[in-house]
Structure 1
Amino acid sequence: MAGVLILFTTLARVAFVLSGQLDLVQDEAQYWDWSRTFQLSYFTKGPLIAWIIGGGTAIFGDTPLGVRFGAIAGAALTQIIVYLGIARLWGRPRLAFLSLVVLNCSLLAMASGILMTTDNPLLVCWYGALFSLYWASREPERHLPYVLLALTLCVGTLAKYMMLAFVPTVIVYVWLLRRKGLCEPMLVRRLAVACLVGTVGGLVPIVNWNLQNDFAGLRHVLHLGGMAGSRAETFLRLDKFPEYIGSQIGLLLPWWFLYMMFGAVAVVRSLADAPGRGVRSVEGLGYRQKALLAAGFWPIWGFFILWSFHTKINPNWSAVSYASGFILAAAAWDAVWRRRGWRNWRVWPWPFVGLALMGMLMLHDTFPLPWRYDGRLPMVGEVHIENPILHLKGWDDLGRKVDELRRTRFENPDNVFFFGDNYDVTAALSWNVPGKERAFCLPGGRRLNQYDLWPGPEGREGWDAIFVRKKFSGPRDSLLERFARYETIQYQSQHGDRPARRFTIYLCYGFSGQWPPAQGTDY
């Protein structure tokens, strides 16, 4: 059954990508643009995402499948690791299968299994490290678990800096084992060596790149985490927590979130030998397994809950805690199932609701839903709610429109370059305009990004250009500092036969050759 589920979800993801329902999102386009310039690291992430995309496009070309093939393969590999880890290492095949169901019925897994983002390889490596840690604690005399732990730490760090948070997970796990006398000195020494080798191996290329680029990546992390820049000015704030906790409920879907919290609390009570009915949800787990789940979930999830009272936390930052969270939710769901029977409403509807939601998200663009035609959801009182899905659509149509304007509105189409005012528009232009010529990102009035570290259009004096901004906006007379004149077009893009994102397109004539330098300290 597990094999059928993994095969079905993998084929469903391939079919969705080939259907063309969802244009490449901006981050994917940016990572693809990175893959065209090999580096040891990049402005916001390590190099693995670019390397994976480079491998996918080498096989399938510069196509959505080429870019997203790594995400599809990563999602399949994640499921295989989860099943083998729980079914073989833990000896609990029923829990392994239910964990796959919970995993596949969460929005987090739906998105990361299709969109080629850094969370996909990060989860693969995190699960690999989690089960390698458990294996090492069971058989501390064997060398292979430590080698796998070091390897997954190294590769995961190249994917995303969040992999470094696995070291505190190891520390908490060892502490919990020592409480019961289950931690041999050999285990501690070898785990320390594996963690050191893995983290150093992953950080060497990243640190090397940062040394050559004024520590741009480190500055970005410190700013985004509220430890530098404007985000660090206010230490305690209450306005970001509701948004963050709401995003976590949405990522897992409300029922799985509740099951997860039930299981997470139960595992702590069980480790503390506290009496209560709640611990029944983890009765079948051994002490090492409970300790692993607690160490993998609570430190990271709890940290981001607390840190959300200081700064804005992106919804996916705590994704690695859900590696344990999915298993906890499955264990709690299994406990309710065994106690109340499959006919109980607390048990049977949720996987079907999750699968139905997954199917709706994959097929929604094929149905003629009336509210989709004007790009808005039904009215709430007197207010129209903007459809957030449409923010991801229309980029491909924009690329075709820009190419049409290049060919029809300029005397020399070969001497026209493209630029945006943010990394997302710039990356989308690079990907979607036929020819896939790299676009430029206009400096000033925004955070710095990878495009600021690459050359601008200097040396193209006398060329024309097309400048694109999101939404409808008015004149940009500052363009006259760079060009002899410009025209403005407001364009409503289309996706299929439905309206999508709105853009303002500026046709710029006679580039002066003076491109503003990258400036500012906002990362």
Structure 2
Amino acid sequence: MLSKLFNQKYNTLFFLLGLIIFSGLNLFSAACTELHFDEAYYNFWSQSFSFGYFDHPPMIAWLIMAGKFLFPGEIGIRIFIVLLSALSMILLWLMIRQYNANALIFWSLIFSIGLIHPYSFIATPDAPLFFFTALFFYLLCRYLKNNNFQNTILIAFAIALTIYSKYHAFLVIALVIIANLKLLKRFSSWTILLFTLLYLAPHIYWQYENDFPTLSYHLTESHQTQYNPLETINYILSELAVTGPLLGWFFLYILFTIKPQNQWEKTLKISGAGIFIFFLLATFAGDFEAHWTLAAIIPLFILSYRYVSENQQWQKWVMISGIINFVLMLALRIIIASPNSGNIKALAHFSHNRDNAYLISNYAGNKPVLFQDDWIDASLHQYYSGNSKTASLNSGFYRRNQYDIADIDEQLSDASVVVLTRDSLQFKDYQRIVTKRKTFYAKTIPNFRSYYNIKMKLEDVNITDNSLSINVLLNNPYAKDIAFGDKDQTQSWFQLWTKKGKKWVLIDEKETGLMNLHTNDNINQRIDFRVDTNILSDQKIYLMLKIGELKPLPSKCLIKLQ
């Protein structure tokens, strides 16, 4: 009944009013909320222009870079996310106008779907992915009706921008192709492929030049765990929550059961349902993050709008859901922007980051700061302290990230550097720094050298009873010779490690003794370990090299005992 008040004459006005409220809330959150650690990490990316970065494509870094040119502070980092979110709403509005558009139902649905709102102001790759996926579906609707040259070029551009945002775009594109196999007979489809590859050429070249780090990371390192049935259950519950939380079950039911009226709706259904099914199956191979299905929200929203607009008995419930969610999200935005958010575990990452940076800076002063195996705190400290010489020092225990490519620790060679760790046993003497969330153990190292670019290559492994003999080749890429074992900083050990769950366990170690490694040269070393090979036969064993008090080098060798 309320929807009758929103007749066609006032629909555009009410839509614009809703857009102002939606964007106003996003501007408030963008300006008043401290950065999440992911945002601080992407801000680190934005300090140098590139066609690629370690974890994701470059779009988010470009947007942050452009925003900081316009505004300082958090608002500068997020301003283009707010703008793209507003444009996403306009695209959704244009796409549902074919269903007798009603602004009240539209905004009720928008506020009923929780997953839309965090990524309407938080600067992560998901925000541009959402916008460019919406643009892609909008242009796809036009292309299916008329595959002229203009629509062909535009849709290729949209596909490329979606891929430049996040690689989840490949899943969307694959599902669209599955839904439209007949399109492969069109000459224009291959024209789209050609122009998409041309648009992506700089990024492809960057990946090639850097040995495809992103592909390697996501396929072999990221989210790889043994199957846990609870992951699958958590995924289902999480998706019910983020697509609602009140009516998520209803919107998912519509997506999976609605009968498409045309090829475009068929594409929407297969794409949306396919994304949810894909990540459900992915839980059998690893863990998940609830927001990975964000691109599926676009087809879910459009098809849900069509269903609700055709079934008036559901309009009241969608409006009630929208009002309740709006009030809850408004309260949540206010809480996140306040200092009290630190008292809530789920929101703690949005608070006290500035205070923590101040505490660490009190000890470090103007010295460079390196966080051992900690890209999260390195990114936050760099932003809130303003210390550009801040980085994560990534050991063989830790996952690779953009700091490995930036190689900041090598730029600090021979400087006086502060190294912070969460491991109280790492340093013989240290300064304890207690922040709002963590305790760090800091040490100032004069004439710092990490030696983290030394490479190891396994040459030969011989196994006998209780003995493991290894030949390893070491490469020195530095412009200086390295003399191992001549002082504390270069006292070194070859170590055998295995990983049990998330914990690394030391099996055995042998001190290298005095060893000279000349610049740009290789040296072959033989190490004999005393180990029970029967116990180790079912585990992954890694050979690592530890130099000084830093954790082992990133370069490590997997030893196959079978």
- TM-score, reference length from structure 1: 0.78
- 1:393 aligned residue: 351
Q: Take 2:253 and 2:410, find their aligned partners in 1: how far apart are those partners?
A: 59
> Does 287-296 or 208-217 show the bigger shift?
287-296
- 2:234 aligned residue: 243
- 2:100 aligned residue: 92
Q: Take 2:43 and 2:113, find their aligned partners in 1: how far apart are those partners?
A: 26
Q: Taking every aligned residue pair, what percent have the same amino acid on both sides?
A: 18
Contiguous gaps of at least 5 residues in structure 2: 1-13, 454-553
| Counterpart contact for 1:429–1:439, Cα < 8 Å | no
Find out whether 1:10 has 2:23 as its counterpart: yes
- 1:497 aligned residue: none
Structure 2 residue identity aligned to 1:312: D
| Counterpart contact for 2:105–2:318, Cα < 8 Å | no
Correspondent of 1:476 among 425, 430, 438: 425
- 1:128 aligned residue: 135
Superposed CA offset, 1:228-283 (max 9, x none): xx54xx5x65232012222212222233312212211332xx25xxxxxxxxxxxx
| Counterpart contact for 1:157–1:202, Cα < 8 Å | no
Q: Take 1:167 and 1:159, find their aligned partners in 2: how far apart are those partners?
A: 13
- 1:502 aligned residue: 438
Correspondent of 1:81 among 88, 91, 107: 91
> Does 320-329 or 459-468 show the bigger shift?
459-468
Structure 1 residue identity aligned to 2:189: L
**CA displacement at 1:57 relative to structure 2:** 0.5
Correspondent of 1:49 among 40, 43, 60: 60
Where in structure 2 are the equivalents of 1:31-180 lying within 5 Å? 31-61=42-72, 63-87=73-97, 90=98, 92-94=100-102, 98-140=105-147, 142-175=148-181
Where in structure 2 are the equivalents of 1:93-492 lying within 5 Å? 93-94=101-102, 98-140=105-147, 142-175=148-181, 188-198=186-196, 200-223=197-220, 231=225, 237-267=228-258, 270-271=259-260, 286-336=261-311, 338-339=312-313, 342=316, 346-364=317-335, 375=343, 387-407=345-365, 413=366, 415-458=367-410, 460=412, 463-469=415-421, 475-477=424-426, 479=427, 485-491=429-435
Structure 1 residue identity aligned to 2:100: R
**CA displacement at 1:421 relative to structure 2:** 2.1
**Change beyond 3 A, Cα 1:243–1:23:** same
| Counterpart contact for 1:255–1:350, Cα < 8 Å | yes
**CA displacement at 1:449 relative to structure 2:** 0.8
| Counterpart contact for 1:419–1:465, Cα < 8 Å | no
Alignment coverage as a number of residue pairs: 445
| Counterpart contact for 2:419–2:444, Cα < 8 Å | yes
**CA displacement at 1:521 relative to structure 2:** 8.3
**CA displacement at 1:2 relative to structure 2:** 1.0
Q: Take 1:196 and 1:171, find their aligned partners in 2: how far apart are those partners?
A: 16
| Counterpart contact for 1:129–1:152, Cα < 8 Å | yes
Structure 1 residue identity aligned to 2:293: S
SS in structure 2 at match of 1:240 = helix
Structure 1 residue identity aligned to 2:255: A
**Change beyond 3 A, Cα 1:83–1:521:** farther
**Change beyond 3 A, Cα 1:512–1:340:** closer
Relative CO higher for 1 or 2, CA cutoff 8 Å, sep ≥ 6? 1
Superposed CA offset, 1:390-429 (max 9, x none): 133221111112222234xxxxx4x443434221111112
**CA displacement at 1:37 relative to structure 2:** 1.4
Q: Which structure has greater helix proportion?
A: 1
**CA displacement at 1:100 relative to structure 2:** 4.2
| Counterpart contact for 1:418–1:429, Cα < 8 Å | no
Q: Take 2:375 and 2:418, find their aligned partners in 1: how far apart are those partners?
A: 15
| Counterpart contact for 1:400–1:434, Cα < 8 Å | no
**CA displacement at 1:157 relative to structure 2:** 0.9
| Counterpart contact for 1:126–1:163, Cα < 8 Å | yes
| Counterpart contact for 2:40–2:379, Cα < 8 Å | yes
**CA displacement at 1:367 relative to structure 2:** 7.6
Q: Which structure has greater strand proportion?
A: 2
SS in structure 2 at match of 1:316 = helix
Q: Take 1:401 and 1:446, find their aligned partners in 2: how far apart are those partners?
A: 25
**Change beyond 3 A, Cα 1:489–1:34:** same
Superposed CA offset, 1:94-131 (max 9, x none): 2x763443234433211111111101111111111112
| Counterpart contact for 1:257–1:329, Cα < 8 Å | no
Superposed CA offset, 1:274-320 (max 9, x none): xxxxxxxxxxxx32343132132122222211222222122222221
Q: Quick check: which has more Rg, 1 or 2?
A: 2
**Change beyond 3 A, Cα 1:462–1:149:** closer
Contiguous gaps of at least 5 residues in structure 1: 272-285, 377-386, 408-412, 494-500
| Counterpart contact for 2:119–2:127, Cα < 8 Å | yes
Q: CA RMSD in A?
A: 2.8
Superposed CA offset, 1:188-230 (max 9, x none): 33234214422x135422321222222211101212567xxx5
**CA displacement at 1:38 relative to structure 2:** 1.5
| Counterpart contact for 1:419–1:441, Cα < 8 Å | yes
Q: Take 2:417 and 2:368, find their aligned partners in 1: how far apart are those partners?
A: 5
**Change beyond 3 A, Cα 1:225–1:287:** farther
SS in structure 1 at match of 2:121 = coil
| Counterpart contact for 1:102–1:351, Cα < 8 Å | yes
SS in structure 2 at match of 1:445 = coil
